[in-house]
Chains A and B, each alone.
Chain A
Amino acid sequence: MKGLKFILTGILFGVIMAKSEAVSWYRIQEMFRFQSFQMYGIIGTAVVLGTIFVFLIKKFNIKDFSGEPIEFKDKDKNWSRYLIGGSIFGLGWALTGACPGPMFVNLGYGYWPMLIVIAGALGGTYLYGIVKTWLPH
């Protein structure tokens, strides 16, 4: 089954995020209050190793499993969207203690009120789709 590998990768993600407590509202508070290294350690390690992986993929022209070249798209350089959009995201991240991934990991963990947060996130995404053309990008 072609899709199974994605489910398994997702399970690994969910287990890792829950076991390292990165899905914890408290840990996100600790991070925004600069009172623990945990979250910085997680993101920092992932970025350093991720940079090495990306570098190696580019340097050795590594192909994906179907033999296609792995392509990296450069993000467009419209600064306002990153700064404004990012700040709006940050407000919600600190308030709910969850970015999109952890919302779902927490739901699986048994925190059913995350369904309200997820409903809000879908509503927010929908709203963006409607007002997109009027926003500075």
Chain B
Amino acid sequence: MLELLRQPWPWYISGFAISLIMAMLLYFGKSFGFSSNLRTICSISGAGQKVKFFDFNWRKEIWNLLFLVGSVIGGYIVSQWLSTPDPMQLSASTINDLKGLGIHFDGGLNPSQLFGKDFATSPKGFFILLTGGALVGFGSRYAGGCTSGHAISGLSNLQVPSLVAVIGFFIGGLVMTYFLFPLIF
């Protein structure tokens, strides 16, 4: 059984579980949207004293921070007890395309070339990771949600604005992948 759980889980299990998580949060009287936590953390750090956007009752959002803590624990559980040493099954064409950019597939979840110590502590690497995060943080608040809030919660509620946001996610993602990656890497 444990051996089976250690294998990668198929997309339909994952998709089903994510919709279940959304439904569970609705049943708890909340809604599934992860990026709100970033605003809450800013607010707890005192950003509300200077910027009105962060001046709200963050105590009502503690439930979502607990969800965040759980997600960190979940990642830890998988890396400690539920993973296999086998390399990930990545499509051969992706491996090839990335090789063209000088990024080698090493079998892990994330390339050690980008998420290893050497890159993260180099000025260029640090800047790339920080900027990438900033784009995600700025963009998700500007768009009013991220993948969970728009692509899952919003689309499930047939919200056209969420569909526009998801189209935006792809415009940005494709521009980065096809036009900016060759300049960055």
Q: What is A's interface to B at a CB cutoff of 8 Å?
A: 3, 5-33, 35-39, 41-51, 53-54, 57, 64-66, 68, 70, 72, 74-79, 81-101, 103-114, 116-130, 132, 135
Contacts and interface: CB of A to CB of B under 8 A. Distances in A.
B121 to A, nearest CB: 9
Q: Could you tell me the dominant secondary structure of chain B's interface residues?
A: helix
Nearest to A96: B132
Most A CB contacts (10 A, CB to CB) among B26, B140, B148 go to B140
Given A86-B168, A116-B120, A33 B94 contact: yes
Contact of B136 (A12, A98, A116, A132): A98
A46 B152 contact: yes
Interface in B163-185: 164-177, 180-181, 184
Contacts of A105: 71-72, 74-75
Contact of A119 (B14, B70, B130, B146): B130
B12 A124 contact: no
Given A11-B74, A47-B152, A97-B110, A120 B142 contact: no
Contacts of A82: 143-144, 150, 161-162, 164-165, 168
Interface in B70-93: 70-79, 82, 88, 90-91, 93
Most A CB contacts (10 A, CB to CB) among B14, B70, B94, B164 go to B70
